[in-house]
A = this chain, B = another copy of it.
């Protein structure tokens, strides 16, 4: 079996990343911004000190490679993303890159040379709260995006991806040039904190992912009514955007409840909602309401069915309330199944090592879905984590991380 990962190094890197990207309340590593870039620099410098090969592709993704005995054969890959949501936690994404680096550092220190190249990837822009595009960095690495994405605007700055790349000294003209192809990759194993409470509730430190939920989103929905006096206009004469949206949300919530109770895999979230602050008042019927909706499932059929429910309910509500709705652009990602052989292999290693691990689906999306949907043999290892993710309270114990990194090393070293 392969040598142990360097957990001391991992601990040092977690601290360095946190210190460099703190925003006072949590960490903010903005995609294609200074926060993410600082993380790339810290990881890249560490890899250079370890004597790994360091490459950056045209899209700004980072590759840290320990050369194997046979450099001509397809490589084994691991890694994750280095951005975070605004006011997020320190582990979501970064744990997967640091785990890969800890594995290679441990191997290098022990003089262990893998059979083929092993590459840790530091992926750009996975958190699509910045740029409205799922898996921007990993898709760009495979050449799966076209140039129009350079015109996408970052939600907080309103500036384009092109401008943000220039800020970082990256050449937008090279964005999206293929740096990876599926045939050149033997396997991809992504380590990530669990973002839900399943492992915590089950008191199990490590999860082995069987599949990743796909999604669809309407990020810019608008409900349109008519502003009116809140006292002087009776119920039948109103076009109330808030009332319409509320009745719609309650209606689709009841449908979700029914599907959930029927055992279908589905989560539905309206995470942002606002009347227009320049026109609303407590004494005005609202003429506008902006919101977004994020729908995820392991099943494409359920996603399609629920999309039809959203639209049918909206249409009924608009008729009943004399309002209009604009769904706006639909974005999303396909569900992805993990490779059963690789899942089984990781389970077998966990068993051999005496690591308590359980199989589970991933509710959140991950770059691993891009690899899997291209036919790469893909797996994911989850680390138990309290308080969820996308918030400053993420809490992953280093002991749990060490067990997961141990399993990652086994998965990358295995020569079968």
A205 within 8 A of B: no
Partner of A282 from B213, B219, B277 at Cβ < 8 Å: B219
A227 to chain B: closest residue by CB: B391
**B388 & A228 in contact (Cβ 8 Å cutoff):** yes
- Interface positions, chain A 110-161, Cβ under 8 Å from B, are 127-129
Residues of B within 8 A of A260 (CB): 235
A326 within 8 A of B: no
**B271 & A388 in contact (Cβ 8 Å cutoff):** no
Partner of A249 from B227, B250, B267 at Cβ < 8 Å: B250
- Nearest chain B CB to A82's CB is how many angstroms away? 17
- Nearest chain B CB to A197's CB is how many angstroms away? 5
Of listed A196, A245, A260, A362, residue having the most chain B CB within 10 A: A196
A215 to chain B: closest residue by CB: B231
Partner of A250 from B227, B251, B273 at Cβ < 8 Å: B251
Of listed A129, A232, A257, residue having the most chain B CB within 10 A: A232
**B243 & A231 in contact (Cβ 8 Å cutoff):** no
- Nearest chain B CB to A207's CB is how many angstroms away? 11
Of listed A85, A128, A197, A272, residue having the most chain B CB within 10 A: A272
B-contact 0/1 string along A181-204, CB 8 Å cutoff: 000000000000011110000000
A289 to chain B: closest residue by CB: B273
- Nearest chain B CB to A142's CB is how many angstroms away? 22
Of listed A197, A284, A292, A391, residue having the most chain B CB within 10 A: A284
A1 within 8 A of B: no
A266 to chain B: closest residue by CB: B235
Known: A127-B283, A283-B294, A388-B229. A235 touches B213 (CB 8 A): no
**B249 & A243 in contact (Cβ 8 Å cutoff):** yes
Known: A219-B282, A246-B253. A230 touches B272 (CB 8 A): no
**B273 & A242 in contact (Cβ 8 Å cutoff):** yes
How far, in whole Å, are A294 and B280 apart by their CA atoms in the complex? Answer: 13
How far, in whole Å, are A143 and B23 apart by their CA atoms in the complex? Answer: 50
How far, in whole Å, are A227 and B240 apart by their CA atoms in the complex? Answer: 28
A274 within 8 A of B: yes
How far, in whole Å, are A390 and B249 apart by their CA atoms in the complex? Answer: 28
Number of copies: 2
A345 within 8 A of B: no
Known: A247-B250, A272-B286. A231 touches B364 (CB 8 A): yes
Residues of B within 8 A of A246 (CB): 245-246, 249-250, 253, 270
A389 within 8 A of B: yes
A35 within 8 A of B: no
A279 within 8 A of B: yes
- Nearest chain B CB to A228's CB is how many angstroms away? 4
**A129 & B281 in contact (Cβ 8 Å cutoff):** yes
Known: A247-B250, A249-B242, A284-B390. A231 touches B270 (CB 8 A): no
**A128 & B283 in contact (Cβ 8 Å cutoff):** yes
A212 to chain B: closest residue by CB: B231
Residues of B within 8 A of A194 (CB): 232
How far, in whole Å, are A250 and B388 apart by their CA atoms in the complex? Answer: 29
A299 within 8 A of B: no
Known: A272-B286, A292-B282. A267 touches B235 (CB 8 A): yes
- Nearest chain B CB to A261's CB is how many angstroms away? 9
**A282 & B267 in contact (Cβ 8 Å cutoff):** no
- Nearest chain B CB to A264's CB is how many angstroms away? 11
Task: Give 29 A-B contacts (CB < 8 Å), ordered by A residue.
Answer: A85-B284, A87-B278, A127-B283, A128-B283, A196-B237, A197-B233, A197-B237, A226-B388, A227-B390, A227-B391, A228-B390, A230-B267, A231-B296, A232-B389, A233-B388, A235-B256, A235-B260, A235-B267, A242-B273, A243-B249, A246-B249, A246-B270, A247-B249, A247-B250, A247-B253, A249-B250, A250-B251, A269-B285, A272-B275
